[in-house]
Structure formats: C-alpha cells, structure tokens
Amino acid sequence: MKSFENVFVFDHPLIKHKIAILRDEKTSTKEFRELVEEITTIMTYESMRDVELKPVEVKTPLEVTVQYKVAEESIAIVPILRAGLGMVNGVHKVFPTARVGHIGMYRDEETLEPQEYYCKLPDGIEDKTVLLIDPMLATGGSACDALDALKRRGCKKIKFMAIIGAPEGVEKIAKAHPDVQIYVSTLDRQLNENGYILPGLGDAGDRLFGTK
C-alpha cells in the first residue's frame, strides 16, 4: 500500500502483544472485550496529541501557576455500531467527560455496500474534535459513509481510529477524506472474497458481544 500523509500505523510493542491475544480464536469474550478497551486507550493517547488546550490558573501548595487543560466539551466520541461500542470505554479512560454519539451502519451481504440506519449525535458536535471509532477497517465503505454523515452535520475536525485495517480500506478513506487523520494499530495483509480482513480476527462485533 502506498503511504498517505493522513494515515498513522502504530508500531508499539504493547499493542502488538495485545493484538496477538486478540486474534486467537480461543480468546474468551470477556478477555477480547478487555483487550479492545486496552488497545483503544493506548491508541487514544497518541491520536489525540494535538487536542485543544486552554490555559487555566492553578494554586499549588506553594504558588499560583498557569497550566493547561483540555477545553471542556471539546471532544466527542462516535462509535460505528455495533462493534465500535467496544472501544468507547477505552477512549473514556483518557477523556471521561467526552460526549458520545452513535452511527449505525450495516453491510449488505450481497453488495458489501454499507447502509446507514441510525444517527444520533451530541448537540454542538460541529464545534468538537470528533473521534470516529470502529475496531475493523475492512472495505472502508462504512467508515467513508460515517465520515460523510458527520461532515453533512457540520463536523470539521474528525479523526478515525481502528484497531485492525486492511490496505484496501485504509487507502479508500485516505483518498476520499484526506482531511481526516486515520489511525490504525495494525495493517493486515488483505481482504478475502467475502470482505473479511486477513489474517484479521473474525467478526469483531460477534466476538465482543458473544453472539457467535
């Protein structure tokens, strides 16, 4: 895959360790859910390095000093349903007051094209830094449609974060949304004929919620 200025692939030993366990078909639903949350937290630290700060005056036991805090109400988390829900707590560990919206997408099993069925976003989201999250970036169709939906509603600063990405999906959204920073912890080999990532980890939603 060619490189894109708006794509960031993590190369962190802790993430590699956790993904190795995440991929294992023997990993339980409980452990899978915990690992997704832990990986998301590590990724959030790095992906939000440029988060907006504001100066505040703080009185220490010795003196008054000017420090910096994340601006109130400046962050919104938007998981793509349903698998994206598994990443929300991981982001909340870093930004516990962030508002949460939801975008529901499903993939047509014949055409593999995404369909939007639900969208509920926090008030004032157009003025926030929006972190769109989904564990798997496969064809890129759902992510592109979710990004389009956010932009139609006025969002101007959006980051997209996935745990595992396929080259086809990463390239699709990098080209379609060059203004969006794309973060993936691991870039896998390819998609199979059914649109699943190889080697991947199976269906993230099923593994998160124990539905198979």
Catalytic residue set: 107, 111, 203, 206
**Distance from the Cα of residue 67 to its chain's centroid:** 29
Q: Which residues pair with 190 in a beta bridge?
A: 198
CB 135 within 8 A of CB 164: yes
Count the neighbouring beta carbons within 10 Å of the beta carbon of residue 50.
10
CA distances to 35, 52, 55, 189 from 154, rounded to whole Å, are 33, 18, 27, 35
CB 142 within 8 A of CB 199: no
Q: At what angle do helices 167-176 and 141-152 cross, to 10 degrees?
A: 20
CB 139 within 8 A of CB 172: yes
